[in-house]
Amino acid sequence: MRGDGMGAWRLLRAVMCCIVAAWLLAPLVVVVVISFSSAPFLQFPPPGFSLRWYVQLFSTPAWTNSLLVSVQIMVPAALFATILGTAASYALVRGGVPGARLVMACLMLPIVVPGMITAAALFGVYRGLGLNGTLTGLIIGHTVLCLPYVVATVTSALRVQDARLEDAAATLGAPPWAAFRHITLPLVLPAVLSSLLVAMILTFDELIVSLFVSSARVRPVAVQMWSNLLGDFDPTISAIASVCFLLALLVLLADLALRAGKSSRIA
């Protein structure tokens, strides 16, 4: 009797897991397959295979320019967010900042506040400052959006490290910067690099703030995709979507490798 119940649950669980797996992965598989289609429409399965949409993607200035713009935003924004976020995390966990919990909560706000509100707010304020349609405006916006992820990752890594290691270095006469540089930073480096990766992928994929703040001349990939999606779908979009997907996959694998390296060092 009891065995029967468990068997039914196991079967149901397996079926549900398959449904979820299909729901999560089928769209991505279909997009990647269609990007190699030889047909000028999004037919699945494709009637034949070719690289024409990739050729089209990398030979259309609108797309190549937008890729360049995305990289020009991604690199500084991810670096700024990682540096500012790591410094803030260090101060919050080790420095005894007054009201640390409140400061931490405020630093998390850009995740909690819906993207449309942030986008509208930045767009409104940028109008007076002439920052709309500039790389600077986009970089500032993206830096703020990435900060919470860096702070969350690095503070939790700092919390599991023993603060006494650093105190010992200080007692032995190491100046605070040297103690941080030689003791703490190497210990939390995997977390810092991991948050850099997350920040990179976040700014590369960010759409809503970019949609408001960008212009026809300074237009990141996500916005270029968006403006194409509102017209007729053409397979070039599935090519750029596959490129984005591949990028995400690579970054995820790098992040998993970082985490695996970290846990093996502890063990």
Partner 1 sequence: MKSIDSRIWLVLPAVLVLAVAFLGPVGWLLARAFTFPEPGLQNFAAIWERPVYLKVLGNTLLISAVVTPIVVLLAFPVAHLMAHGSARLRRWLIFLVLVPFWTSLLVRAFATAILLQRHGVVNSLLVALGLVDEPLPLLYNFVGLLAGCVQVLLPFVIFPLYSSMVRIDPAFMKAAATLGASPVRAFVRVYLPLTLPGLMTGGILVFISTLGYYVIPALLGGPRQQMISQMIQDQIATFGNWGMAGALSLVLLAATGGMLLLLQLTVGLKEVAR
**Segment 50-109, which members bind partner 1 (CB under 8 A)?**
80, 84-85, 87-88, 90-92, 94-98, 103, 106-107, 109
Which position among 117, 168, 178, 257 is part of the footprint of partner 1 (CB under 8 A)? 117
> Cis link prior to 45 (omega < 30° from 0)?
yes
Least separation, in Å, of the C-beta of 37 and partner 1? 11
Binder of partner 1 out of 233, 257, 259, 261 (CB under 8 A)? 233
Tell me, by CB under 8 A, how many residues bind partner 1.
Answer: 85
**Residue 49 forms beta bridges with which residues?**
37
State the Cα–Cα distance between residues 208 and 122, nearest whole angstrom. 11
Q: Does 178 bind partner 1 (CB under 8 A)?
A: no
| Three-state SS at 105 | helix
Which of positions 188-217 make contact with partner 1 (CB under 8 A)? Answer: 201, 204-205, 207-208
Q: Given the structure tokens 């070719």, which residue do they identify?
A: 50
Q: Whole-number minimum distance, CB 45 to partner 1, in Å?
A: 9
| Contact residue for partner 1 among 24, 172, 216, 267 (CB under 8 A) | 24
Instruction: From 108, 104, 89, 100, select the one nearest 161 (Cα to Cα).
Output: 89
Closest distance between partner 1 and the C-beta of residue 103, in Å?
6
Min dist. Cβ of residue 145 to partner 1 (A): 9
Smallest distance from partner 1 to CB 55, Å: 20
d(C-alpha 154, C-alpha 81), whole Å: 12
Closer of 106 and 165 to partner 1 (Cβ):
106
The nearer residue to partner 1, 70 or 218, going by C-beta atoms, is 70
Neighbours of 70 (CB within 10 A): 23
* φ, ψ at 49 (rounded to 5°): -120, 150
Place of tokens 């990007």: 35
The three state secondary structure string of 204-220 is: HHCCHHHHHHCCCCCCC
Stretch of 50-58, 62-70, 186-194, 234-242 lying at the interface with partner 1 (CB under 8 A): 234-242
135 to 164, contacts with partner 1 by CB under 8 A? Answer: 140-141, 143-144, 147, 151-152, 156
Which residue in 112, 108, 136 sits closest to 122, CA to CA? 136
Nearer to partner 1, 82 or 218 (CB): 82
Whole-angstrom distance, CA of residue 72 vs CA of residue 204 = 10
